[in-house]
Structure 1
Amino acid sequence: MKARINGVQIGYDDFGKGPAVLFIHGYPLNRKMWRRQIEPLVNDGFRVILTDLSGFGESELREDAEDLHTHADDLVGLLNYLGVGRAVVCGISMGGYVLFDLLDRYPQRVAGACFVVTRPVGDDVQERVKRAELRRALENGETDRVREAFLRVLLTPTGRKKARSTDMREVCEWVRTADPRSMAAGLKAIGGRKDYTSLIKKLSLPTLVVGAELDQVIHPLHSELLARHLPNCFRAVSLKGGHLVNLEKFQAFNGHLLEFLRTLVPRSRDLSEPVEQPS
């Protein structure tokens, strides 16, 4: 589905009924990377909302997509469009950075937060240099080299062996068809993010942290440090998978996510049934 949000077309999906859970994808992917989470959550009584960040999937590229604020503004615009006041938000990698910005600027819209292989700190000098090199490569037309570089770190050795599976085959396709202009804008948005360490120390909302032992993008220690700083962390887990842990280890991931979500809503009755008022 598509909706006009803040002046441009945004791709999204909206499944099920119940408390809303909004998923934010990683770089340079799209909302389809959450395919393994839809059915379990809908069957458990949750409303699942997926969206493509500006320039990825079915969403148009904005002129100001080089700023994380733009992506957070689009999320709020989509929630408004769908009539959702507050949602539990789950962000992976770059999606986690957008989630930090959302918590910083729109905290009233987030009922709970799930951080997946992400970190609150900004880039160090080496990382800034590396991102600048990748942007230059894209500007010079070396798009395939950049795409392959990302595939090497997104897929663990085990994931590469399973490259013929439906999930991993589609991941390769998403990366290899990503618009180079969107990739460049995304790199700049990621590199320009601020340090959110002081923010997370003040967060009172419930949180879940999921790391990945074999992640070649975000070191597992970042997940441990993040959990340590969060005042109301329900659980911090490290699954034996790579950066795409929600796909590689989807059963374990879904189990932890559902346990977390169930703590946020009453489970004594079917969520789809109206609560009877006493006469």
Structure 2
Amino acid sequence: MLIETEKHVQLFVHDIGEGTPVVFLHGWPANNDMFEYQRNLLPAEGVRYIGVDMRGYGKSDKPWDGYDYDTMADDVKAVIDKLGVSDAVLLGFSMGGAIAIRYMARHNGHGISKLVLAGAAAPIFTQRDDYPYGLTKEEVNDIIANTYKDRPAMIDEFGGMFFNKKHSEPFQQWFASLALQAGGHSTIKSAVALRDEDLRGDLDKISVPTVIFHGKKDQICPFEFAGEMNKGISNSRIVPFEESGHGSFYDEREKFTEELLQFVKS
């Protein structure tokens, strides 16, 4: 279905199943289809899967503006309000995890009773003088420059950092195809947000039970991110994924789904 979040901006939302609603926010630069291997199973377990293609990605509209965390968090609120969702679990992966944190802080956790941060690009994606973790701003600038120059090649290189385990070539091609559905300008402007935004002041505004899924071998959002989020979110715990890179949802998909179901039903 399409949900209008502001004038001339509609987001595609995949809403399937009945039961406890779990709202999935995907990572950069993919779309909600990255959760296909969870979506295949969760509705049979009493979970209502609500997958949002954020503005600029997948089947959603691709406006020129609005790729900052505040606007994308406002988009999430519009979806939750339109669907009348309450007592939902919000799951944010990578950039989606950053947007989920901003949503919880900016909208006081409206409609959300539990939070899952999976490989979240938070509290900051890039290094600062007082934050030594993650990519440098210069490295993100290179990604942006390569997106202007040859986006498919950038996606191929970035995809090579995504998983720890070796997956089939058809799977890798399919995963890259998700990123190619995004707008080029959307990919660039979201990378700017990832480079520049800082969520450290948002963490202590989260009061709901929170679980942090994070791959021990993550090359994109290092495992130290999980510790920083855990320190800042009072009611949180870490579930490490020992064999996973950034993409724990597929590197250890059985554990990912099992841990998610356990948290949803607890």
TM-score between the two structures when normalised by the length of structure 2: 0.88
Deviation at 1:28, TM superposition (A): 0.7
1:68-107 matches, cutoff 5 A: 68-107=69-108
Larger Rg: 1
1:124-273 matches, cutoff 5 A: 124=127, 127-139=136-148, 141-156=149-164, 158-159=165-166, 162-166=167-171, 168-196=172-200, 198-263=201-266
Is this contact kept in 2: 1:67–1:192, CA < 8 A? no
Aligned partners of 2:96 and 2:125: how far apart in 1? 14
Aligned partners of 2:109 and 2:206: how far apart in 1? 12
**Unaligned 5+ residue runs, structure 2?**
129-134
Query: Which residue does 1:120 correspond to in 2?
Result: 123
Is this contact kept in 1: 2:31–2:179, CA < 8 A? no
Q: Which moved more, 1:75-84 or 1:126-135?
A: 126-135
Indicate the SS of the match to 1:153: coil
Aligned partners of 1:18 and 1:95: how far apart in 2? 23
Identity %: 22
TM-score between the two structures when normalised by the length of structure 1: 0.84
Indicate the SS of the match to 1:182: helix
Is this contact kept in 1: 2:163–2:244, CA < 8 A? no
Deviation at 1:122, TM superposition (A): 4.9
Q: 1:177 to 1:223 in 2, by over 3 A?
A: same
Aligned partners of 1:68 and 1:229: how far apart in 2? 19
The aligned length equals 257
**Unaligned 5+ residue runs, structure 1?**
264-279
Aligned partners of 2:14 and 2:103: how far apart in 1? 20
The amino acid of 1:38's aligned partner reads: R
Deviation at 1:145, TM superposition (A): 3.2
Indicate the SS of the match to 1:190: helix
Aligned partners of 2:175 and 2:63: how far apart in 1? 24
The amino acid of 1:229's aligned partner reads: G
Is this contact kept in 2: 1:72–1:98, CA < 8 A? yes
Aligned partners of 1:114 and 1:222: how far apart in 2? 14
1:54-69 matches, cutoff 5 A: 54-69=55-70
Deviation at 1:214, TM superposition (A): 2.2
Aligned partners of 2:150 and 2:184: how far apart in 1? 9
Query: Which residue does 2:131 correspond to in 1?
Result: none
Aligned partners of 2:85 and 2:205: how far apart in 1? 25
